[in-house]
Chains A and B, each alone.
Chain A
Amino acid sequence: MARKLLLEHINVPGINTLDVYRQKGGYRAVEKALKTLSPEEVVEEVKKSGLRGRGGAGFPTGMKWSFLAKPEGVARYLVCNADESEPGTFKDRYLMTYIPHALIEGMIVSSFALGANTSYIYVRGEMMPQIRILEKAIAEAKAAGFLGQNILGTGYNLELYVQPGGGAYICGEETALLESLEGKRGNPRIKPPFPAIAGLYGCPTVVNNVESIAAVVPIINDGGDEYAKIGIGRSTGTKLISASGNLVRPGVYEIELGLPVEEFIYSDEWCGGIANGKRLKATVAGGSSVPVLPANLTLKLANGEPRLMSYESLSEGGFATGTMMGSGGFIAFDEDQCIVRNTWNFSRFYHHESCGQCSPCREGTGWMEKVLHRLEYGHGKMSDIDLLVDVSKKIEGNTICPLGDAAAWPVASAIRHFRDEFEWHVKEPVKSLDTNYGLANYAEPIAKAEVTTGN
């Protein structure tokens, strides 16, 4: 069995309550950090762990923390990014629903490390039930003396609040999130200055994903070195993967980084294979923003070696034959899914969610949506395919925040790997309305499950 650090006790009845969470060793990290470690030592452990941001960018968390400016007499803030909105990603919702104290405990330890006395958890507004769960957990933790004034008699003070968002994907971008937390539209800020220098209310601020903050708890309990032993290379520790699409068992899984992708999809310990005995056509391995890969490149690198669930292996081959770990939103497409339709759907998403600040993104996402719509609905021209590539290139790298890139990559990669399917939509405009191109030559090396007939 794979090692679990975050979800080890997820099936224990009542683990969402403080009492049961503590019976299972909860809040040990708070005791250890506040009573026996200095803030610098906590940062050092996180650095040693090699933990990389679990929200999508994969930036080393310890390093991000060490950039935090510490001018005298200026408040510092820790803000947890719980605006989980990347299509294909639902791990933070799961964690907050079933084991909210893991996040609260991580917030206390992390706030202590950063010297923050007021911290916020920015939760997307649609997660109102999770907001209620967190508020209840915070009240429990406060009543038990883990929050408030003079925590555990150590002299450290911390107030923790939950802030609801208003329904905007862009607020997952850290500076847009801070704008939103200040009561404004979620328009990303121009960087620099980075939040570590001027973040919330112009004060030094760290913004971390839910899973990154929860991972601080086992790192402090067992030590950064122990955490770094799990995983492979610079992909240390465990990662929550949100598995969705045409899988036998979609859901949230905690894997040790380095698990072969093939095992993750087909093993009964994980997703159990493709639903309804169908074959795998393609995957989006890290949330809708990352390049889509055909089945053969999902399972194997270009050189034929198995592809692993790690930051390095998933991006092996660059954008030519690789993809990215992203937020761990793993979407599987079976042989009956249409890549053109899905690309159009994702483009509509990015068009809808563009904040409108930068014209390449505001206009470009709209154009991509329109062109993809006409390809999908039988009005496309052959030149539309290159037009899409052209538009995507003009968005990529030309915007304040990464939403532009996130909108461009799925389109560019879909055409890179599935150009013949796009061409088929132009050549067969009527047929493509009610049939799909199917698997073509993207088949995985694994044969379709034998269907037993007769008695």
Chain B
Amino acid sequence: MLKVEEQQPVTFSSALIEKCGEIVKRYPGGKHKSALLPILHEVQAELGWLSPDAMDKVASFLTIQPIEVYEVASFYSMYFLKPQGKFVLEVCRTGPCCLVGAEKLMDHLEQRLGVKEGVVTPDGLFSWRGVECLAACGYGPVLQIGPEYTFYENLNEQKVDQLIQDLRDK
């Protein structure tokens, strides 16, 4: 469900607008709505999540109705409709990864970060969640971190602790 979290006006950087303009060129004339998914990724990469105002701006950029953006943003699991931590750790929780310890790893992550799934740490740095199959089943357990979706494979508790430390030091 789409919940209106905040009504803060946002601004897109000129680099972002330029990128969106490039994306639109990939499609035949009149089919610019095809650019919606890639543009939402770019907007989320810049702003961290898709606020209602950001989605409205995308709608007017693509000259489509706001509802056409909302329905897409709420359908796909990668788009965040509320603010997230600076680093969102997404752990695969599907069958093959669970055979090699993904569930224990999520317990560890919860304890290590001190927040439940989907909750942002008080310092604003982290949030985590379980996600469905990331197509890396042979290298499980795995987790990914956006917006570039860097992959961390064959994880164990020590590696996760080290990763959290490295991100804190960034």
Contacts and interface: CB of A to CB of B under 8 A. Distances in A.
Interface of A: 75, 84-90, 92-93, 118, 124-129, 161, 163-169, 180-186, 201, 242-246, 250-252, 284, 288, 329, 331, 333, 337, 341-342, 345-346, 349, 352-353, 355
B137 A352 contact: no
Interface of B: 26, 28, 31, 33-38, 40-41, 62, 64, 68, 71-72, 75-79, 93-96, 98-100, 131-140, 144, 146-151
B37 A165 contact: yes
Nearest to A334: B99
B72 A93 contact: no
A244 B140 contact: yes
Contact of B76 (A125, A244, A333): A125
Given A182-B34, A185-B75, A127 B149 contact: yes
A163 B37 contact: yes
A349 B96 CA distance: 12
Nearest to A284: B95
Contact of B135 (A89, A129, A184): A89
Contact of B28 (A75, A180, A284): A75
B38 A87 contact: no
Candidate in A164, A337, A341 with the most chain B CB atoms within 10 angstroms: A164
A30 B100 CA distance: 42
Given A129-B148, A164-B41, A245-B96, A183 B34 contact: yes
Contacts of B34: 163, 181-183
A180 B78 CA distance: 14
B130 to A, nearest CB: 10
B37 A93 contact: no
B21 to A, nearest CB: 15
12 contacts: A85-B135, A88-B96, A90-B139, A118-B28, A128-B147, A163-B26, A166-B40, A166-B79, A169-B133, A184-B68, A250-B137, A250-B139
A346 B95 contact: yes
Given A87-B137, A183-B35, A185-B72, A331 B96 contact: yes
A80 to B, nearest CB: 14
B139 A128 contact: no
Contacts of B40: 166
Given A128-B146, A183-B33, A246-B99, 15 more contacts: A87-B96, A125-B41, A126-B134, A129-B149, A166-B72, A167-B76, A167-B78, A169-B132, A169-B133, A182-B31, A185-B75, A242-B138, A288-B133, A342-B99, A346-B94
Contacts of B146: 128
Contacts of B31: 182, 201
B137 A126 contact: no
Given A129-B150, A166-B78, A167-B77, A84 B135 contact: yes
Contacts of B28: 75, 118, 201
A130 to B, nearest CB: 9
A349 B97 CA distance: 13
B37 A125 contact: yes
A180 B35 CA distance: 10
B67 to A, nearest CB: 11
A126 B133 CA distance: 10
B88 to A, nearest CB: 12
Contact of B75 (A84, A168, A250): A168
B147 to A, nearest CB: 7
B107 to A, nearest CB: 15
A243 B133 CA distance: 14
Nearest to A91: B135
Given A87-B95, A242-B137, A353-B132, A126 B33 contact: no
Contacts of A86: 133, 135
Given A124-B135, A201-B28, A244-B140, A166 B77 contact: yes
A166 B43 CA distance: 13
A181 to B, nearest CB: 6
Contacts of B78: 125-126, 166-167
Contacts of B71: 184-185
Candidate in A126, A242, A284, A329 with the most chain B CB atoms within 10 angstroms: A126
Contacts of A346: 94-95
A451 B126 CA distance: 45
Contacts of A251: 138
A86 B135 CA distance: 7
Nearest to B149: A128
A166 B75 CA distance: 9
A73 B151 CA distance: 44
Contacts of B36: 183
